[in-house]
Amino acid sequence: MSASDPRLADLPPLPDLQGGEPVFAAPWQAQLFALTTALNEAGHFAWKDWAAHFGAELAKTPQVSGQSVPDHYFGCWLTAFETFVQLRGLAGPGQLGDLQRRWDAAARSTPHGEPITI
């Protein structure tokens, strides 16, 4: 195959190749990664099953213009992980939605600068 391969025309250019960025671009990405890894290490799923589920989410979700690689990548990871824990029965129907509403409400009722808890 060569650089004139017609499929290349449809592909975005490579991002910054220096790769000197931090391991995680935001705390939520680190937390999400740790949750997934800890759940795997506790024996709740095989990593290959997770990789297949996550890969399918990445495949169907194109990176949109202006979106950074970490935001696209961990955004897909988050959506995939939410559906995965429900498919595996680790989260019941509606449980995540309820908790999201509680966290949002807690933030709104917590004075700025104080830790948010539910």
Partner 1 sequence: MAHDHSHLDPIDVRVRALESLLVEKGYVEPAALDAIVDTYENQVGPKNGATVVARAWCDDSYRAWLQSDADAAIASLGFTGRQGEHMVVVENTAEMHNMVVCTLCSCYPWPVLGLPPSWYKSPAYRSRAVIDPAGVLADFGVTLPEGMDIRVWDSTAEVRYLVLPRRPDGTENLSESELATLVTRDSMIGTGLALNPDEATA
For partner 1, give the closer residue by CB, 87 or 104: 104
- Distance of CA 59 to CAs 56, 62, 79, 80, Å? 5, 7, 13, 11
Is residue 114 within the footprint of partner 1 (CB under 8 A)? yes
For partner 1, give the closer residue by CB, 69 or 87: 69
Choose, by CB under 8 A, the member of 66, 93, 94, 111 that binds partner 1. 111
Is residue 13 within the footprint of partner 1 (CB under 8 A)? yes
CA–CA separation, 32 and 74 (whole Å):
8
- Identify which of 45, 30, 43, 113 has the alpha carbon closest to the alpha carbon of residue 84: 45
Which residues 19-48 are close enough to bind partner 1 by CB under 8 A?
Answer: 19, 21-25, 28, 30-35, 37-42, 44, 46-48
Is residue 15 within the footprint of partner 1 (CB under 8 A)? yes
- Identify which of 117, 115, 116, 36 has the alpha carbon closest to the alpha carbon of residue 83: 36
Which residues 68-107 are close enough to bind partner 1 by CB under 8 A?
Answer: 68-70, 72-73, 75, 78, 81-82, 85, 90-91, 95-96, 99-100, 102-104, 107
C-beta of residue 36 within 8 angstroms of C-beta of residue 81: yes
- Supply the minimum distance, in Å, between the C-beta of residue 70 and partner 1: 6
C-beta of residue 43 within 8 angstroms of C-beta of residue 25: no
